[in-house]
Structure 1
Amino acid sequence: MNTALVFAGGTGRRMNSRAIPKQFIEIHGKPILIYTLEHFEYHEEIDNMVVVCLKDWIERFKGHLHRFGITKVTDIVPGGETGHDSIYNGLLAMKGKARPDDIVLIHDGVRPLITDELISENIRTVKKYGNAITVEPSRESVLISNDSDFISRVPKLSQMFVAKAPQSFYYSDIMDVYDRARSEGFKSIDSAHLMNTYGKDLYMVKSSRNNIKITEPADYYLFRELCKASESQQVFGI
């Protein structure tokens, strides 16, 4: 079974949207989170979804699922204090239901521009190598500093990649490292960071274009314009 674990438990402080969390901001009458879920809803290889949601927004979220015909969500789980905690909550909700060799695609609820091909490639790569980390080549130089003052190293640009999502794993593997981190009090930046910390080899999948994460107002406006461009292409063929 292939499960999309979508975490949408953040409040979006950088979006300056105090009344509405960023994942529930609407574009053309549809919440950003629903745009994201639709990719998994209509993908033939995805069997179900587990969504981690802000506790106070769960009932409203259920209404959105009904309104937009999202049927693959089997579990809605309250979010944690951090993204790490939210993912752990989602994985815990799968215990007793998921098999060790089930594939889990962990994805940001505010990353709505993934493609069917990217989802399929994540699944194929997990089956071949055991995991799949969606990445994008860095377009600018990355500088490494140990003290935030002196630049200690400038890696080759050809070796630099930006981790994105989905980040996909066999359920037993990802549950194991999150359990270990929990027992040791360690919290990761993301799942790729956690797997690397515990010595796991990781394998890359090249990201689709425009796989942005909506965290700031500029990201919202970019997504809105990309939606307009997509609609024009479908209607007018331009």
Structure 2
Amino acid sequence: MNIALIFAGGTGVRMNNRTTPKQFLTLHGKPILIHTIEHFEKHPLIDSIAVVCVSGWESKLKKEIKRNYIKKVKWLVTGGETVQASCYNGLKAIYDEYKNSAETVVIMHDGVRPLIDDELITKNIEMVKKHRSSVTVSYAVETICSTDDFGKIVEIANRDKARIAKAPQCFYLDELMEAHNKAKSEGINWMIDSASLMKYYGHELYTVIGSTYNIKITTPSDYYILKALFEAEENQQIFGI
């Protein structure tokens, strides 16, 4: 069983948009979130989809799911106060139904990261079944450094080895729930993604290389970059350029 868990629980404060969460901004006639969900809806290896939605927008999402003929969404749950809490809410809904299945794979993705494709989803599923983890990464194209509290550079990473962790990220349901339950019992609530959580609890992480265009919409400039990339991708499909 392969289940997609799509995160759309954020309010998008860095978008400076007080009326519409970024995942519901329109791109070519439909919300960005719907574009993202459609990749998993159409993928033959995805059995079901769970969506974690920002509070107060559940009815809007239900209408968009119906309007766009999406059939695989089985769970729609409300997001939590943190990224980790939202992830837990979605996983718990799935786990309550599939808790006896150690072979249930969960492929997690950001609702505001729509520039993925079937091949990337397939590679993540293949990798997790081989190594029990899969994290999409892209090559670092600029120098990555670490600084101290005063802004002084203390370390510069080897760019040949450095990678940018993105999504999808893929794990087995039982192992991911075990990590979340440990975190809750220990009062840990600041993990920014599943890869960080699983690494913290000693799991080995394996990677799949994805495109640098697999961007996450966080700021207004990201949205305009997305529009340009989306149109370029459409033109490539239409005109073969």
- TM-score, structure 2 as length reference: 0.95
Q: Aligned partners of 2:73, 2:150: CA distance in 1, in Å?
A: 43
* SS across alignment from 2:176: helix
| Sequence identity percentage | 49
- Give ranges in structure 1 of 5+ residues lacking alignment: none
After TM superposition, the structure 1 stretch with the greater mean CA deviation from structure 2, 73-82 or 206-215, is: 206-215
How many aligned positions are there? 238
161, 184, 188: which is aligned to 1:186?
188
User: What's the counterpart of residue 123 of structure 1?
Assistant: 125
Match of 1:203 in 2: 206
Report Cα offsets for 1:112-139 as digits up to 9, x if no partner. Answer: 0011000000000001000101001111
Q: CA RMSD in A?
A: 1.2
Match of 1:39 in 2: 39
- The reply to whether residue 72 of structure 1 matches residue 72 of structure 2 is yes
Q: Distance in 1 between matches of 2:93 and 2:238?
A: 41
Letter of the structure 2 residue corresponding to residue 68 of structure 1: N
SS of corresponding position for 2:66:
helix
In structure 2, how many angstroms separate the alpha carbons of the residues matched to 1:149 and 1:227?
36
1:94: which partner in 2? Answer: 94
Task: Compute the TM-score of the two structures, normalised by the length of structure 1.
Answer: 0.96
SS of the residue corresponding to residue 185 of structure 1 reads coil
Match of 1:163 among 162, 165, 179: 165
Q: Is the 8 A contact 2:4 2:48 kept in 1?
A: yes
Displacement of 1:147 = 3.0
Q: Is contact 1:115–1:208 with CA below 8 Å preserved after alignment?
A: no
- The partner residue of 1:138 within 132, 137, 140 is 140
AA at the equivalent of 1:73: V
C-alpha separation in 2, matches of 1:144 and 1:229: 34
Structure-1 separation of matches of 2:144 and 2:61? 39
3-state SS, counterpart of residue 74 of structure 1 = strand
Residue equivalent to 2:155: 153
**Secondary structure of residue in 2 paired with 1:149:** coil
Q: Supply the distance in 2 between the matched residues of 1:117 and 1:148 (Cα, whole angstroms).
A: 43
User: Residue 209 of structure 1: CA displacement?
Assistant: 4.4
Compute the displacement of 1:104 (Å): 0.3
Please give the alpha-carbon distance, in whole angstroms, between the structure 1 residues aligned to 2:153 and 2:228: 38
